[in-house]
Amino acid sequence: MNIAIVGAGLMGRLLALSLLRQKLPQLSESNKVTITLFDKDCKLAHNSAAYAAAGLLTPLGESLHCEPNIVSMGFESLRLWPILLDSLDEYTTFQQTGAIMISHEQDKGDYQRFVRHLKNNYPEHHLHALNREELLALEPEIGRSFNQGLYLPEEGQIGNRRLLVALRKQLEKESQHEAVGNQLKWLSECQVIAIDSDTSNTDHKSTVNYLYQGTKHSQDFDLVIDCRGIGATSKHSDNTCAPLNDLRSVRGELFQLFAPNVNISRPVRLMHPRYQLYIAPKGKGFYVVGATEIESDDSSPMTVRSAMELLSAAYSVHPGFAEANIRQHISQCRPAFSDNQPKISVVNTNNQNRLIQVNGLFRHGFLIAPVVLKQVLALVAEIRQQSPCLTNLSDVKLPYNELLPVDFITVKNNDKKEVI
């Protein structure tokens, strides 16, 4: 089976590695998988949303601004991430020592509202209100400036950039997976210009047209998995390239600071009137401070306003950040649908499922990626084992249908799409 994965960010890399390793015992030897990974950037992924992130795994910290299914997926992903990371040769930081929520006096009302929200909606999860002495004991350098805080012991973070590197190295190592027989071809700096899932041709294939090393190519695939992020918006993808018209870009900005004289050991969230602000320690004196959330598809350099707000917030949490070195400031756009929910869609053209679209992870990419991954892998396994013609949702038993239902979109003879 020939599978194309379009987009080599976090989801593209996770899917490529998982499918490369996947062997379904009931399938014949002739049904090995050949994967082509299309990557518009170089393999360093510096232009991906996953690179411009903090890797926070804080479902309760996000809960005030997202739906309950995102929180549930976040806790499930906290369970799944260690399993995924253990399968990689390269070390990736995974920390689950909790997170702290704090607020300044002028934002105390928002802080109290957040505490009530957690107690009312997530009573099964642990949270500890800290007085100044308890805050000093847990994070001494935070307790000097704040009289109270909220400790969320189940939360954590992941080394997002290390993970992207680890996945690249693992994919390069396993590109010829001898134990399974599957193969991977990674086309970096390659621009996909058309995805045609019209299976009216006799071979019932999807066709990907792309530019690679200055030459236009066309290749047929049994299945295309589209996880381009903002590359699938109507602005970046015309009608020949399977655009998602409901997908939008949300701009996010963050700093990487080097502050060796600051000692914070776990993620800290600060109540803020405009943004969900955080400080994420990354070890050896490095901290990520973010993030703005602006309804814009502009990925130009950070604005003065955002820089002042983020840096002044960091300084207000710890005065030691006044002497920090600014090592990097990043602006990147995140993909989001109108309801800020992730979506998995299967496009069924002429009774053939040849295109899966995975998108809209918004600001929750690392938080929910393992759940999205398992759902897509289960869907691909159903298509491989049973039939490319699955159209009845009741026939598809996927592990997370309640949290992340799959949309089946039917297209007949180039008619309009219809969601089942």
User: Can you list the positions of beta strands (E) in 205-351?
Assistant: 206-212, 215-221, 223-226, 248-258, 268-270, 277-283, 286-290, 325-336, 343-349
Pick from 176-185, 262-271, 377-386: least confident: 176-185
Pairing relationship of beta strands 248-258 and 325-336 according to DSSP bridges: antiparallel
For the segment 354-382, the average pLDDT, to the nearest whole number, is 96
pLDDT at position 22, please? 85
Q: Taking the complete model, does pTM exceed 0.85, yes or no?
A: yes
Q: What is the pLDDT of residues 289-339, one digit of tens each?
A: 999 999 999 999 999 999 999 999 999 999 999 999 999 999 999 999 999
Which pLDDT score, from 0 to 100, does residue 375 have?
Answer: 97
The CATH number given to 99-153+249-336 is: 3.30.9.10
Cα dihedral 346/189/167/10 (nearest 10): -40
Query: What average pLDDT does the segment 387-395 reach?
Result: 58
DSSP state of 125: S
What stretch(es) of the chain map to CATH 3.30.9.10?
99-153+249-336
Residues 154 and 52: their CA atoms lie apart, in Å, by 24
* Cβ proximity of 41 and 188 under 8 Å: yes
Please give the mean pLDDT across all residues of the chain: 91
28 vs 279, more confident: 279
What does CATH list as the number for 2-48+162-246+340-419?
A: 3.50.50.60
Start-end of CATH 3.50.50.60 domains in the chain? 2-48+162-246+340-419
